[in-house]
Amino acid sequence: MTDIRRTVLWMVFVTSLLFLWDGWNKHNGRPSLFSPPPPKPAATAPADPAATPSASALPTPSTAAPPTATPAQAPTASSSAGDPASWVTLTTDVVKASFDPRGGDVVRVELLQQRDLEDERRHVVLLDRSAQRFYVAQTGLVGAPAGQQWPNHLTPMTPVAGPRELADGQTALTLTFESAEVGGLKLRKTYTLARGAYTFGVKHEVVNASSQPATPQLYLQLVRDGNPPPGESSFYSTFTGPAIYTDATKFAKLDFKDIEKGKAELPKPGTDGWVAMVQHYFAAAWLPPANQPREFYARKVDTNLYAVGMLLPVGTLPPGATATQEATLFVGPQEEKKLEALAPGLELVKDYGWFTILSKPLFWLLDHLHTLIGNWGWAIVALVVLLKVAFYWLNASAYRSMAKMKAVNPRIMEMRERLKDKPQQMQQEMMRIYREEKINPLGGCLPIFIQMPFFIALYWVLLSSVEMRNAPWIGWVTDLSARDPFFILPLLMTATSLLQVWLNPTPPDPVQARMMWIMPLVFSVMFFFFPAGLVLYWLTNNTLSIAQQYLINRQLGVNK
C-alpha cells in the first residue's frame, strides 16, 4: 500500500509540474505542449475592410430556397465605404455603438460601464473592426437568382438623420439605414437602443420594387477572429467561440478548430433557438422571435476568421409588397439574471464548466448574499462559511480520522524503523495497528472527495461571474476579478496551506513527508496569477478548515 501511495503522489506531483511548466510557457508567449500554436494574427482583421471576403462571407442559402438561389458577388465598395470616418455612432448610458453605412452593420460596441482590466482609463470594447481585431454583427439578404444579388452586409446604405446621443429624459435612440434598389429589392434596417440595455432591437424591412415576385432569406451572423480575448490568463482557461442553443439540442459550444475542419455539429432547422459568440465575461448573440423558422450555420470565412449565424425565410413577396423581420442583438456582459430574462437558455453562455447543475444554485445564493451584504468580497466569505457549516459533520469525520492517525504516528514511525528490512511484515504490522485503533486510512479522504464538486462549482462561479469585475472588497483589493496587486492574499494562502500540512499527520514515508510540504508551495505559484476573488475563496476555506481541524485535534489531544 505504501508503494502504491508513493507512486500516486509522484504521478500527481510530476503532472502538476508539467501543467505549471506549460502554463508558464503560454504566459511567456511560447507554444503550448498540448495544443498546436495559435493562428497567426496577421490575417485576423484586415486593415482595409474592403479586403474582407465578399461571397465567402455570405451564408449558403437554405436547401428550401430555389435551386438557382446562390450568393452573388458582393458589390464593390465606394472609396469611403468601410472608412471609420463614415461610421455612425450612437451613445446611450451603457453602450457606444458604431455602425458602418456599408451594409449597415454593427462594427464596434464599447461598454461604458465596464472598465478594461489592462487599462482602467479605457472601457471594454467588445465588437471591434480594427487592424488588431475583427468581431462584427452582420445581416443581409440571400437567395437571389443566378447572376443577381440582393442587399447584403457589403451594400452601401444611407443613414437617416436623427439624434445620436441619448438625452436626459429620453428612453431610446433609433437609427435607420436604407439601401438603394439592388436586384429589385430594397432593404431598410432600423436599430433601437434603449436606456440601460445591452440589447439592440433590429427591424429589417424588405421592399420588392421589381415587377416579379421574390423569395429572399434574411441572414443574421456574427463574424469573429479566432484569437483569445486580450488579457486572457494562461493559468486558467475559459471558452471562446461560437455557441448555438435550441430547445431540442440545448446549449452547444462550437470550437474554432472543428469549424476549421468542417466538423462542427449543427442543430436541425427549427422554430426556436439563437446563436452567439462567447468569451470570458462577455457575449454577443442574435435572438430572433420565438416560433419563427430558422436554419443554423457555422463556417470558416477566411484565415482565422469564423462566422456563426441563422437563415430566416422572409416569405414570397409580390411586386410592390413589403415584409418585416425583427430580431434582437445582445452585446454585453454575462449578467445571469438579465440573460435569463432575454431568451431561454441564454444564461448558459456563462461558462460554468462541468458543474453547471451545482454552480447555478451557488450563484443564486451568492447573489442573495450580495443583496444582503452589499459587497461581493464579503458575500464570497459568507458563502464559504455557509458551505463549511453545511459540511461540518462530514469534515469533522475526516479530521477525526486524521487526528487518530496523528496520535498513532509515533508508533508507526518506531515500527517502520524496527522493521525497515522486512517490508511485508511492516505492512502487516501497520494494518494491525490501524485495526486496533479503529482507524480507516482512507477515512480522511472520502469526506473531502464528496464535497469537492461543490467547491469546484463555486470556483467556476467566481471565475465566470462578470459581477466580480471592478468589484472591490477591502483596502488594497479594488477588483475581485484581477490578481492581488500586492500578492497579500496569495501569500496568506500559501501560509495557510503550509499550516494545514503541519496540522495533518506526518506520513511515515520520508519521501511522502517531503512531498506533502513541497506540493502546497508548487500549487501556490498559480494563486499569484489568479483573480483576487478566487484566492479569497480558497483562503477563507483554508482558514475555516484549519480552525475546525485545530479544535478537533485539541479535543483528541494531538495538537503539536
SS (H, E, C) 257-305: HHHHCCCCCCCCCECCCEEEEEECCEEEEEECCCCCCEEEEEEEEECCE
Residue 72 has pLDDT above 70, yes or no: no
The pLDDT of residue 442 is above 60 = no
Whole-angstrom distance, CA of residue 500 vs CA of residue 237: 28
Residue 152 has pLDDT above 70, yes or no: yes
Q: What is the pLDDT of residues 260-293, one digit of tens each?
A: 998 899 999 999 999 999 999 999 999 999 999 9
Top-confidence residue, 85 or 308: 308
Q: Is the pLDDT of residue 70 over 70?
A: no
What would the mean pLDDT of 418-427 be, rounded to a whole number?
A: 80
Better-scored residue on pLDDT, 149 or 392: 149
Cβ within 8 Å of residue 58, ≥6 positions away: 71, 74, 140, 142, 152, 153, 219
Find all residues with CB under 8 Å of 469, minimum gap 6, and list them: 114, 115, 117, 281, 333, 479, 480, 481
What does the pLDDT look like over 182-200, one tens digit per residue? 999 999 999 999 999 999 9
The answer regarding whether domain 83-228+256-349 maps to CATH 2.70.98.90 reads yes
Q: Provide φ and ψ at 20, rounded to 5°.
A: -65, -40
Domain ranges for the chain, please list them. 83-228+256-349, 361-555
What phi and psi, each to the nearest 5 degrees, are found at residue 103? 95, -15
Cell of 266: 449543427
Of 499, 485, 493, give the one whose Cα is nearest residue 527.
Answer: 493
For residues 462 and 50, give the distance between their C-alpha atoms in angstroms, rounded to a whole number.
42
Task: Give the distance, in angstroms, between the CA of residue 361 and the centroid of all CA atoms in the same chain.
Answer: 18
Residues 6+ away with beta carbon under 8 Å from 8: none
Residue 15: the pLDDT is 47
Q: How many CA atoms lie within 13 A of 159 on its CB side?
A: 20
Residue 184: name the closest of 16, 19, 318 by CA: 318
Helix (H) or strand (E) holding 177, with range, is strand 172-179
Q: For residue 459, is pLDDT > 50?
A: yes
Task: Report residue 363: phi and psi, to 5°.
Answer: -65, -40
pLDDT value of position 354: 78
Q: Which of 86-100, 433-447, 467-481, 534-548 has the highest mean pLDDT?
A: 86-100
Check residue 104 and give its pLDDT. 96
Of the given ranges (38-52, 116-130, 403-417, 439-453), which has the lowest mean pLDDT? 38-52
Q: Is 48 left (phi over 0), alpha (psi -120 to 50) or beta?
A: beta
Q: Look over the chain and give the mean of its residue pLDDT values, rounded to a whole number.
A: 81
List pLDDT tens digits, range 319-365: 999 999 999 999 999 999 999 999 999 999 998 877 788 999 999 99
Its pTM stands at 0.78
Residue 492 above 60 pLDDT? yes
Task: State the virtual CA torsion across 522, 523, 529, 533 in degrees, nearest 10.
Answer: -150
Average pLDDT in the 364-384 region? 95
- The pLDDT of residue 117 is 76
**DSSP of 502-524, one letter per residue?**
HHSPPPSSHHHHHHHHHHHHHHH
Q: What is the mean pLDDT of residues 470-481?
A: 91
Chain centroid offset of residue 134 CA: 19
